[in-house]
Structure 1
Amino acid sequence: MATVFRIGGDLPVRRLGFGAMHLPTEWGAARESATAVVRRAVELGVTLIDTAYLYGGGANEELLAEALYPYPDGLVVTTKVGVARSGPDGEWRLDGRPAVLREQVEQALRRLRVERIELLQLHRIDPRTPLADQIGTLGELQREGSIGRIGLSEVTVAELEQARRIVDVASVQNRYNVLDREHEAVLGACERAGIAFLPWRPVAAGGSGATAQIAAVAAETGATATQVVLAWLLGRSPVMLPIPGTARVRHLEENLAAERLLLTPAQRAALDGLAGA
């Protein structure tokens, strides 16, 4: 099983990455712990780290830059834009207006301390703004050199196809795990096009261990339930790039060890047959 995938055909990353959403950003011991986690991830060979403006209004991006800059060669920090505090009372809402996307990309460049974001993803499609305007703005930013590759998040097959008529789509980040396969058709579309598929909530929010089939495979292999479901994801599709997140070094090390777990055909068949398939 390949452990490296080339996003957009030319950007190599280790298939098992790290999702930074759960890292605390407040000052003090919690921030120091978060810094230790993300530095340990890089020490262990992680080359894809996922963040977003939504995660603390940019605070998560600042934490990653503080912990890792200057970035080691080969490390890709991908971020997401398209959600802003632009609701009537200042609440978060989807906002894909071109001016908002441009401003968020400019601020992400500053916070991450880079001149170009190698993979920039649209966090959600804003139903109030024409899709062509949202994707077209990202395409303009790509041509201007601010971003290298464009990704989408929580999209349907139809939306993906519409976006691909405007730009080259390098990645899709949809919710997907062994117990939740609502976006199976989107995964299939990504496979056919060679598009990276980054499943968020890859371990079913910790509920995997309560499932008898997963617990049985874990017992047979001597692995944890989390490692079993991550190994299942890695074997599910060659375009699958799981990004499990944690705020603890111990859990980080457990997650990354899943890459070495090889499931038998019988074990995979048991997991394939879980509800939601």
Structure 2
Amino acid sequence: MTIKTFSLGGDLTINRLGFGAMRLAMGTFDGPVRAPETGIRVLRRAVELGVNHIDTAGFYGRGPVQANELIRRALTPYRNGLVIATKVGPLRGPKGLPSEQATPEQLRGLVEADLRSLGLDRLDLVYLRVGGMGGPGGKSIAERFQVLAELRAQGLIRHLGVSNVDAAQFAEAKAIAPVAAVQNRHTGDMALLTACQETGIAYVPYFPLGGGGEPPHTERLRKVAARLGATIAQAAIASLLAMSPSVLAIPGTGSPDHLEENLAAADLSLTEQDLADLRR
């Protein structure tokens, strides 16, 4: 991989292989809660290994085990250059899943809650995560994104992003305030990825390893992984980073061993043959 860093928002240099915090508290939203001490160990080791971009959200966790709290406990005082991104918009429904959406009036409270739980005076990057647990598209996001733009103007947020959006919603957001990052599932929308690359916007696939199942295109990845002497997960991460210099990967785990495995993918170099096989 020849380009290992990205300039987020034009002023924050981060490594393109970061860490997603969703699995720190539990493997899935409805899975068993993990021991907080393990999450703290994973976070500290991630930073030791060079991670300087952590993606989190106030709705990652259950009861007393919350990702934001673990990040604050593990990493404060924060190292210079560590970028923490968070997401606001989803609210937990009756079943405890982030299936409902905050109103514009509720968004400020969610941002302030993230500031408190992370122990920060300003959030580096805040995504408006839209659409509940469904796919991108649908309702206008202008009113809610305007709220975040105002909080940015007030100094509570450094950069803004959008998550789970289609092209129309992306355009709405850009018309209101600068967008530093888009976080969508995988990289299926190549037109949106291209638009991000052309304008210096980060594209951050969530569930980069398949969201609890196998990565997409597993058979193709298996062949590439065998040639590289790597795992399928490592090949999946390397293939994401090879797609575009604007792609940031944020594989998450609650396991120290998996963390080491994931981050080792940054050192893999895919050949033209590897890339051709993955495109088939």
Q: Give TM-score scaled by structure 1 length.
A: 0.89
Q: Is the 8 A contact 1:151 1:169 kept in 2?
A: yes
- Residue 53 of structure 1 corresponds to 58
Report the secondary structure of 1:269's partner residue.
Answer: helix
Structure 1 gaps, min length 5? none
Instruction: Trace 1:28-39 onto structure 2 (pairs within 5 A).
Output: 30-39=35-44
Give the secondary-structure state (helix, strand or coil) at the position aligned to 1:217: helix
Determine the structure 2 residue equivalent to 1:197. Answer: 203
Give identity over the alignment, percent.
44
Match of 2:254 among 232, 240, 247: 247
Q: What displacement does 1:97 show? A: 1.9
Q: Which SS does the other structure have where 2:35 is aligned?
A: helix
1:162 maps to amino acid:
E
Give 5+ residue unaligned stretches, structure 2.
27-32
Query: Structure 2 vs 1, CA of residues 270 and 104 (structure 1 numbering), >3 Å: closer, same or farther?
Result: same
CA contact (8 A) 1:175 1:183 kept: no
Counterpart of 2:116 in structure 1 is 110
Q: Is the Cα contact below 8 Å between 2:25 and 2:34 reproduced in 1? A: no
Question: Secondary structure at 1:207's aligned position in 2?
Answer: coil
Deviation at 1:210, TM superposition (A): 8.1
Provide the residue aligned with 1:79 in structure 2: 86
What CA deviation, in whole Å up to 9, does each residue of 1:65-86 have, x standing for no partner? 111111111111111111124x
Alignment of 1:1-277 (within 5 A): 1-24=2-25, 30-56=35-61, 59-85=66-92, 92-125=98-131, 130-176=140-186, 181-205=187-211, 206-208=213-215, 211-273=218-280
Q: Secondary structure at the match of 2:263?
A: helix
Shift of 1:135: 0.9
Alpha carbons of 1:91 and 1:44: their partners in 2 closer, same or farther (altered >3 Å)? closer
CA distance in 1, matches of 2:177, 2:116: 25
Change beyond 3 A, Cα 1:170–1:247: same
Aligned length: 267
Per the alignment, in what secondary structure is the counterpart of residue 159 of structure 2? strand
Do 2:209 and 2:236's aligned partners in 1 also have CA atoms closer than 8 Å? yes
Of the structure 1 ranges 207-216 and 149-158, higher mean CA displacement relative to structure 2 is found in 207-216
Q: Output the TM-score relative to the length of structure 2.
A: 0.88
Query: Which consecutive segments of 4 or more residues in structure 1 shift more than 4 A?
Result: 87-92, 125-130
Change (3 A) 1:165 1:209: closer
* Aligned counterparts of 1:153 and 1:94: Cα–Cα separation in 2: 15
Report the alpha carbon displacement of residue 108 of structure 1 after superposing the two structures with TM: 0.7
Does structure 1 conserve the Cα–Cα contact (< 8 Å) formed by 2:24 and 2:67? yes
